[in-house]
Amino acid sequence: MEGEEKKGSGFCSCSKGKLLFVILICFGTIEYITIYDVQPTSAFPADYTFNFFRSWSEGMETLAEEQALQLRKVRLLCLVVTIPKSHNTRAQTIMDTWGKRCTYIHFITTHDGSNSSLPLIFSPAEETYMHLWAKTKYGMQYAYDQYNDKVDWVLKVDDDTYVIVENLITFLEMKDPEEASYFGCHMKMTVAQGYMSGGAGYLLSRKAVEMLATQGLTNSSICSQSQDGYEDVEIGNCMQGLGIKPGNSRDPQGEERFLPQSPVDILNLKNDSWLFSYMAKAPQLGMQCCSSLAITFHYVPPELMRTLEYLLYKLRVVHPHFMLERGQTALNSSLAAMLKTTTGFNSSLVTKLETMTPHNSSLLAMLETTTGFNLSQVAKLEPTTALNSSLAAMEQTAASLNSTLLSLMETTAALNASLLAMAETATALNSTLAGVLGTTVRPAALLSQPGSGLIEPKSAALSNTSSSETIK
């Protein structure tokens, strides 16, 4: 619902042929064609068993878990402008489809006395189309007062806007909510720097919401203080007054992410469409109209909203390459789980190692002390070792001396034996001589001794001579 909305055509005015066309278009953009770039086959291989289908199913569950984790990285508040009579139709359909993927969601409405389980915030403004600006101001002030420290981004949309939240989160992942930022489908009319289409939805960073609530909404030189007005144009005026420039919301190919019409209308756009006069960048015709990472579509009634939800989040084409990819995803998830388990085990080992480290340090200190003691003992042993070496040398000298003395003793013994043999020979000779002379002759060794009583040989001869003369 924005300044140019009256020029658009609602879904209800579309023919049945157009509804069939959008279903075929969505069906034609199934993942295995746009992502895997494979060609359909005439028959499935025979070995696709139940186990393979189970792997595919597990892979899809894993992807859903990964998407949920991704959505929690960026905290998003979704503000949906609605009216009381749409609580049970448009608003409830949003809660049943894309609304559940926002971190927080509130419907800005007016109080009609009815009860609803929806997360509603009630604007005191009168419930008219021209009072959308009053309802939007109230919602933005509420976002700042209640959620400024809880969310990173605030998305404002209408109750006939369909949002692909995963693509929105991907778009925001590398953007800083502390910078004053303003994104959406850029319109070039009315405001000098342009404004973002309210129906396609516009996005404000936490910093931009803070500046709007604290500096702009109550300042007539920045924001209109009137209750009525086209809310998207008025927000554009506020952003311009605050010095916040419209951000580039297109993809790297220059294709629009925030679409101000339904998939049916935008894909069948004609050259005479009012969008050519309003959009800052002229819309492209045909399949180039929209980014493959589109974030929003406007003029989407509940029946088409449920159709898109089914086509985008439930319908799958069972194709060999598609199933192999999903099976691989399931396998990768199992490996990741094993890795987490191993990591936990390694962490336990590290903890045990850290516990053992002080003990090992104590043992090392004891070892160092023992080593020092051993070294001192070795130092004490070194003089003893030198003494032992000297004693060993002395023992070797004594042994050598003993060997010499033994040799001398053996030589003396041999000499004594020789002398004994000579004495025996002399005795025998004396005996022989005595026999010859008839006189007992003592050994020659005794003859030379004076007073020995032995007869000298010469005297004996003289005696013999004297005797013979006497006989004569």
The mean pLDDT value for 17-41 works out to 44
Mean pLDDT of the region 298-324: 87
Taking 70 as the threshold, does the pLDDT of residue 58 lie above it?
Answer: no
- Integer-rounded Cα Rg, in Å, for the chain is 61
Q: Is residue 226's pLDDT more than 50? A: yes
Which residues lie across from 258 on neighbouring strands?
Answer: 296
Q: What stretch of H or E contains 8?
A: none
d(CA 422, CA 425): 5
Residue 365 has pLDDT above 60, yes or no: yes
pLDDT, one tens digit per residue, over 164-194 is 999 999 999 999 999 999 999 999 999 999 9
Q: What is the pLDDT of residue 60?
A: 56
The pLDDT assigned to 323 comes to 62
Question: For the ranges 163-177, 244-258, 315-329, which has the lowest average pLDDT?
Answer: 315-329
> Rounded distance, CA 94 to CA 98, Å?
6
pLDDT band at 140 (very low <50, low <70, confident <90, very high): very high
Q: How confident is the model at residue 401 (pLDDT cuts 50, 70, 90)?
A: confident
CATH code assigned to 5-318: 3.90.550.50
The whole-angstrom separation of Cα 160 and Cα 94 is: 8
Per residue, what are the HEC states of 313-370? HCCCCCCHHHHHHHHHHHHHHHHHHHHHHHHHHHHHHHHHHHHHHHHHHHHHHHHHHH
Tell me, what's the pLDDT at 146? 97
pLDDT over threshold 80, residue 436: no
What's the first-to-final CA gap in the chain, in angstroms?
201
C-alpha–C-alpha distance, residues 448 and 456, integer Å: 9
Q: What is the pLDDT of residue 395?
A: 79
Across 166-170, 304-308, 422-426, 454-458, least confident range: 454-458
| Among 134, 174, 132, CA closest to 5 | 132
Residue, of 233 and 29, whose pLDDT is higher: 233
Q: Which of the pair, 51 or 345, is modelled with greater confidence?
A: 345
State the average pLDDT over residues 391-406: 82
Residue, of 335 and 319, whose pLDDT is higher:
335
pLDDT bin (cut points 50, 70, 90) of residue 314 is very high
The pLDDT tens digits for 198-207 are 999 999 999 9
Most confident of 100-104, 394-398, 458-462: 100-104
Compute the distance between CA of residue 148 and CA of residue 164 in angstroms, rounded to an integer.
Answer: 23
Handedness of CA 21, 161, 199, 117 (dihedral sign): positive
Give me the pLDDT at residue 371, please. Answer: 74
- Per-domain residue ranges for the chain? 5-318, 442-472
- Burial of 250-288, coded b for 16+ CB within 10 Å and e otherwise, reads ebeeebbbbbbbbbbbbbbbeeebebeebbeeebeeeee
Q: How far apart are CA 117 and CA 439, in angstroms?
A: 171
Mean pLDDT of the chain: 79
What pLDDT shows up at residue 100?
95
pLDDT digits (tens, 9 = 90+) for 280-309: 999 889 898 999 999 999 999 999 999 999
Average pLDDT over residues 346-356: 76
pLDDT value for 61: 56
pLDDT of residue 458 exceeding 70: no
Give the per-residue pLDDT at 349: 75
- State the pLDDT confidence band at 406, using cuts at 50, 70 and 90: confident
Q: Residues of 19-48 as b/e, b for ≥16 C-beta within 10 angstroms?
A: eebbbeebeeebebbeeeeeeeeeeeeeee
Better-predicted residue by pLDDT, 283 or 382 = 283
Residues with Cβ < 8 Å from 94, sequence gap 6 or more? Answer: 80, 105, 159, 305
